Amino acid sequence: MDIKEIYAYLAAPMEEVTRLMKERLGSDIALLDAVNTSLLEQGGKRLRPILALLVAGAFGPIGEDAVRVAAASELLHNATLLHDDVVDGSDERRGKPTVRSILNGPASVLIGDFWLVQGVQSILSLSRYSERIVRIFAKTLSDLAEGEMLQLQKTERCDTLEEDYFRIIYSKTASLFEAAAVSAAISAGATGAESASAGRYARNLGMAFQIRDDMLDYSGDESLGKPVGIDILEQKITMPLLGALSAVSAEEGEEVREMIRRIPGEPALAGDVRAFVRDHGGMEAAAKVLSRFTEDAILSLSSLPESREKSYLAHLARYVGERNL
């Protein structure tokens, strides 16, 4: 099954998601309106709204509330990207210049705030369960902030352990996947047990998504618009490096961590770290962890009723685990 089949199947509700986002992001401030229009046109994979729509469809017809939840998940996701670009000092995203690089950091933060508020407004416009669902997304926003701060703390010290890494990627990535799925299930009238199953699926999917993303930083294709090697230049210790570190002694591991601490002044050392990952099976170790989360995601679907959407959710998990970008 090709991922394009899922996009084609959801073409009509995704059109509604895009329409709602455009409506929410419209402004009579010409600069804000122009930037928002440009960001919308850049698109992206939009996995979070795809996830929300598939989950809602697994429990019944995809209604207006599911569309609002899907739009909210994408609005909030893009708000965090606008903020992240300032935190990370990023000049490019998806092969395009960031708002931070074209305007400035404060403008990127303010536009991110605008997207965030519009995401919350989309949730508040739900016909039912809006208070319950806004609490779910509020927890996610708290997770995102804590994850970012933990990553900053660990990056500064270069002492990230596996448990730290899992908390960071849950907070920064998987939490929003989980919120989108659980909220979509609730909006479609799923039971508590069914919503919990959808949440487990999405949490594992989000963890797999980020691990795959971190693997691509070591082996991706820059010609497709995604820079390679950024994480280690930013002193971020991710799953491939953690996998390689687990294969050596504590003393050798500390030598590698010390090398990472020196990267800001000696960026060429990033190449040595990449070689260490390659030579000590870091990518293979990361692939095993990725496979575990992917399989756990698919297993979490077992209690959902049989449907086309359920089969698409299983395929989505496999796609996330195998994607090149």
Cβ neighbours of residue 227 under 8 Å, at least 6 residues apart?
Answer: 92
Predicted local distance difference test score (pLDDT) of residue 93:
81
Residue 325 lies in a domain: no
What's the confidence (pLDDT) of residue 222? Answer: 55
Of 92, 94, 124, 112, the residue nearest 32 (C-alpha): 112
10 Å CB burial of residue 89 (0-12, 13-18, 19+) is exposed
- Residue 323 covered by a domain: no
Structural domain contains residue 277: yes
What backbone phi and psi angles, to 5 degrees, belong to 263?
-60, -40
Query: Would you state the pLDDT for residue 57?
Result: 97
Query: Is 91 domain-assigned?
Result: yes
Q: Is residue 128 one of the residues assigned to a domain?
A: yes
Query: Which CATH number does the domain housing residue 224 bear?
Result: 1.10.600.10
Euclidean distance between CA atoms 147 and 143, whole angstroms: 6
Structural domain contains residue 17: yes
132 and 65 Cβ atoms separated by less than 8 Å: no
Distance CA 237, CA 9 (A): 38
Residue-wise DSSP of 120-159:
HHHHHT-SS-HHHHHHHHHHHHHHHHHHHHHHHHHHHHT-
β partners of residue 93: 96
Sequence-separated (6 or more) residues with CB below 8 Å from residue 268: none
Run of H or E residues at 17 = helix 11-25
Question: Is 324 part of a structural domain of the chain?
Answer: no
Residues present in the chain in total: 325
Number of structural domains, the chain?
A: 1
Q: Are 314 and 204 in contact (CB under 8 A)?
A: no
Classify residue 265 by burial, with Cβ atoms within 10 Å: 0-12, 13-18, 19+: exposed
294: containing domain? 3-318
Report which of 25, 16, 23 is spatially closest to residue 64, judged by C-alpha positions.
16
Name residue, tokens 């993303």. 213
User: d(Cα 113, Cα 100) in Å, to the nearest integer?
Assistant: 14
Write out the H or E segment, with its range, that includes residue 24.
helix 11-25
Predicted local distance difference test score (pLDDT) of residue 223: 47
Distance from C-alpha of 131 to C-alpha of 159, rounded to nearest angstrom = 39
Q: Along the 325 residues of the chain, how does pLDDT read in single tens digits?
A: 678 999 999 999 999 999 999 999 999 999 999 999 999 998 788 999 999 999 999 999 999 999 999 999 999 999 999 999 998 888 888 778 999 999 999 999 999 999 999 999 999 999 999 999 999 999 999 999 999 999 999 998 999 999 999 999 999 999 999 999 999 999 999 999 999 999 999 999 999 999 999 999 998 655 445 567 889 999 999 999 999 999 999 999 999 999 999 999 999 999 999 999 999 999 999 999 999 999 999 999 999 999 999 999 999 999 999 887 6
Gyration radius of the chain over CA positions = 20
